Amino acid sequence: DLGYLTRPLWDKKPKPWNVIKHYYASDIPSKELCKLHNWKPRDVYPKVFDAIIFSIELDLLEIRLKELWDVVDHFIILESNRTFTGKKKELYFAKNRNNFSWAESKIIYKYYDDLDDLEIGESPFENEAKLRKYMNTIINEIGVKPGDIVINSDVDEIPYNHTIDLLRTCEGFPNELHLEMREYIYSFEFFTGFDNWRANIKIHGSELSHYHHGRYSDDILSDAGWHCTFCFRYISDFKFKMTSYSHNDRVTSQDLLDDDAIQDKICQGKNIYGMFPEAYTFKELFGKLGDVSKSNSMVGLPKYLLENKDKFPFLLPGGCIRESGNKH
């Protein structure tokens, strides 16, 4: 895409972040970690709500719920019977809810049936905005109180358990705080850096406490979770996401949806759309060109994933071959 190739000529880097250093070791009590961050331990923990807009990511949702189970009070799961592009879809979570019966006590499930079939020229971002606005309504309806913490992130943006434990244990951090995440593509074998900043937490009742996926603050907590994009079990899920989410315009040729072509890119770490990387300087652009290198380190991955490696082989080294069918 010529726009990405020439981006250093017409765009500029976003405003620099105020990066908050993140201290953690497993044997240091949470209240001591508060002091390391120059924050204060709380007398009373706030409730924590994990607000999730769900599409088809059943495997990552399971890993997410397991990772955050003991630090989140309620998981708000919202899905729609249409994609952002307006195509009809099944309510995949509702269909597979029995598989999450172990988590039923903490799940608040809602669905939205008012997305539109887009007309020519309409943007998928309009439907995305509707769904995010409805999440705001849910958050207010279910009794989230001022001072409670709301996690705003996509299913595949998973905060570390200890990140959320730190934030519910301490006070003194900004009311609106982005979470820097380790970026992976296709599996945890392809680590691409720390470019993801969209996940965030908000103290409910603060000025900007609404569900949003853009930048609303200059504050970011470093190394606070994982973002595993296009980390699907089935080839059909790759094709579904490519054609149904807000950036579906990146599918510039039907050849991009060929099963064999997608499979090759997954195993080689190639860009799924065949696009140039996003960069704001030519130095940065040239540094990102080429396939993503495979990582030899599987240190610090979700505990539930490593405990159940046979259930999720596609997320670990050697598991790049995907199943072709859709068994949701």
Which of 41-45, 107-111, 125-129, 272-276 is least confident?
272-276
- Residue 328 in any domain: the answer is no
Which among 195, 229, 263 is the end of a domain? 229
Contact 320, 189 (CB under 8 A): yes
Higher per-residue pLDDT: 226 or 244: 226
* Coil, strand or helix at 265: helix
How many Å apart are CA 193 and CA 259, to the nearest integer? 27
Which among 213, 229, 245 is the end of a domain? 229
Same domain for 86 and 170: yes
Same domain for 244 and 221: no
- Residue 326 in any domain: the answer is no
Domain that holds residue 161: 15-229
In the prediction, which pLDDT does 249 show?
Answer: 63
Confidence class of residue 286 from pLDDT cuts 50, 70 and 90? Answer: very low
Residue 209: CB atoms within 10 A of its CB come to 20
- Residue 54 in any domain: the answer is yes
Closest of 328, 10, 318, 13 to residue 195, by C-alpha: 13
Question: DSSP letters of 173-187?
Answer: S-SEEEEEEEEEESS
Residue 53 has pLDDT above 90, yes or no: yes
Same domain for 99 and 186: yes
- Residue 4 in any domain: the answer is no
Same domain for 153 and 102: yes
* Phi, psi values for residue 64, rounded to 5°: -65, -50
Which among 194, 229, 264 is the end of a domain? 229
Confidence class of residue 124 from pLDDT cuts 50, 70 and 90? Answer: confident
Count of structural domains, the chain: 2
How many Å apart are CA 166 and CA 71, to the nearest integer? 10
Strands (E), the chain: 18-20, 40-41, 48-53, 74-80, 107-112, 149-152, 157-159, 170-171, 176-185, 191-196, 200-203, 219-229
User: Percent of the chain beyond pLDDT 70?
Assistant: 86
Same domain for 241 and 98: no
Higher per-residue pLDDT: 9 or 282: 9
Same domain for 253 and 170: no
Give residue for tokens 């949702």.
61
Residues 6 or more apart whose CB falls under 8 angstroms from that of 79 comprise 53, 54, 55, 91, 92, 93, 94, 111, 112
Same domain for 290 and 220: no
Tell me what the mean pLDDT of segment 169-185 comes to: 97
Same domain for 86 and 194: yes
In the prediction, which pLDDT does 239 show?
Answer: 94
- Residue 9 in any domain: the answer is no
